[in-house]
Homo-oligomer: A and B are copies of this chain.
Amino acid sequence: MDKYIIEFNEEEPKYIQIVRHIKKLIKAKELKNGEKLPSIRELSKLLKVNSVTIVNAYKKLETEGQAIQKMGSGTYVKVKEENRNFLKEYSKIYKKISGGYYKDFIDFTGETTCSDFFPVDTFKRALNEVLDRDGADAFSNEDALGFLGLRDNINKYFWKGKLNNENIIIVSGAQQGIDIAAKAIINIDDNIIVEKPTYSGALNVFRSRRAKVFEVEINKDGIDINSLRSIVKKHKIKCFYLMSYFQNPTGSSYSLNKKKEILNLAEEYDFYIIEDDYLSELIYDANIKYESFKSLDRNDRVVYIRSFSKIFLPGIRMGYLITPDEFNDAIQNSKINTDRTTSSLMQRTLDLYMNSGYWKAHIKKLNASYKSRYIFMEKCIKEILGKKVEYNSPGGGLSFYLKISDNIDVNCIELFNSCLKHKVVFTPGVLFYKDNNEGYKYFKLSFSQTNNNQIREGINIINSILK
């Protein structure tokens, strides 16, 4: 027990000092993965502190992913390293792939439209028209909110003109939308809720804001409402980040009922919803009706984010955000402090592109093409992988989230490493969890960057490894 003794300073809360001390022991390998920590009674006696202080310290260690509490048994050390090495490795590979370096790979990590579908000619035409029409203005700094014409078009085209143009902010893609909303709304130690599992790019932003993140399990029709309710009852929550359609990674879409219940809870318990509506253009299943949280929101509780990069042209970096009045100024300032404004020329071009009716035609074509890939991939998963995996069919979007059957003793990291040798890559499940310490049996296959031959070949390779 000697190693647990601490000389406390007077400047900091004691539980913080205990946490730091135990983390130091873990780092020095004086505590090993799975080792049991002293009981609360033992440690409080040893350190001559209140037992609540030890409870708080252990809770904090758990939040930081350095301990697990097992009911009725005690608290155990968790070492995060192995995973971290893999995640580092994965991040390198992912950068190479999304940067276009590994062109001969079968790429199931894709999150954006395939370049075969880019409307290069029509976009070029729009671009030149803007340059001829606007001249130097096309290169000026825009209003921080974005080009008024485009905001007005978005309002008319997607929202039947019901919004106030001042609440629409043009952003450089959805990732920036999440980043500037987080900067405006979330402060250090604020409590926020995410779906479990969720998009890692959002988790990274919330980590960077030093928020306390609660994960709520997501089912086929949205998160578990009872879990949500019990969290918002216990904790003052600042906001809840969610994806309303084809949630990343699970593919779940919210039922109308759940949407309404969540909106009611937001009003009752005074929290905000960050709705990342990232792929709702790609609904294939006729039973899925499109109704965003934002469109159902009567109490100005929703920060709505939509990307144009994902389904249109990734390289133009564009999207928009709708702010509740309450955060209008804060989010606008956050945009200014992040990168002043989004490229003026690109905004004007997209505006003209939409005005000319190209947008509508493009989305229609895209939806049809992806739908056929979706059906093909579903067929391959069923016929080739069969009972080796479990999944729900999302009915839209660009991917399938698969669980490796319990009777197969392979986790997603092993599967990833083996596939990599065969030049097949996908997104491992661990990436979608707060502490990257769950989701070992899950992986995501996206078909946006793969044609039918590659889909079949890739799934055959996965199958050979799962055997």
Q: A residues engaging B (CB < 8 A)? A: 10-13, 15, 50, 91, 95, 98-101, 112, 115-116, 118, 120, 123-124, 127-128, 131, 135-145, 172-173, 175-176, 179, 183, 188, 201, 204-205, 208, 210, 309, 313-317, 332-334, 336-346
Q: How far is the CB of A62 from chain B (nearest CB, A)?
A: 18
Once bound together, how far apart are the Cα atoms of A201 and B340, in whole Å? 9
Contact indicator B100/A115 (Cβ below 8 Å): no
A-B contact pairs, 24 of them (CB 8 A): A12-B13, A91-B333, A98-B143, A99-B141, A99-B145, A100-B137, A100-B140, A100-B142, A115-B136, A115-B139, A115-B140, A116-B136, A118-B139, A120-B135, A120-B138, A139-B315, A141-B309, A172-B339, A173-B339, A179-B337, A188-B188, A188-B210, A316-B343, A343-B343
Contacts of A313 in B (CB 8 A): 139
Q: How many copies of the shown chain assemble into the complex?
A: 2
Once bound together, how far apart are the Cα atoms of A136 and B119, in whole Å? 8
Contact indicator A115/B98 (Cβ below 8 Å): no
Q: Provided the pairs A210-B188, A337-B175 are in contact, do residues A123 and B139 lie with their beta carbons within 8 angstroms?
A: yes
| Closest Cβ neighbor of A100 among chain B residues | B140
Once bound together, how far apart are the Cα atoms of A298 and B145, in whole Å? 42
Once bound together, how far apart are the Cα atoms of A407 and B373, in whole Å? 77
Q: Knowing that A116-B136, A120-B131 are A-B contacts, what are 15 other residue pairs whose CB atoms are under 8 Å apart, sorted by A's residue number? A: A10-B50, A95-B143, A98-B141, A115-B136, A120-B139, A140-B315, A141-B315, A172-B317, A175-B338, A201-B340, A208-B337, A316-B344, A339-B339, A345-B346, A346-B346
Once bound together, how far apart are the Cα atoms of A120 and B131, in whole Å? 8
Q: How far is the CB of A142 from chain B (nearest CB, A)?
A: 7
Contacts of A127 in B (CB 8 A): 127, 131
| Closest Cβ neighbor of A189 among chain B residues | B188
Contacts of A120 in B (CB 8 A): 131, 135-136, 138-139
Contact indicator B332/A95 (Cβ below 8 Å): yes
Contact indicator A317/B337 (Cβ below 8 Å): no
| Closest Cβ neighbor of A144 among chain B residues | B95
Contacts of A141 in B (CB 8 A): 98-100, 112, 309, 314-315
Once bound together, how far apart are the Cα atoms of A13 and B17, in whole Å? 12
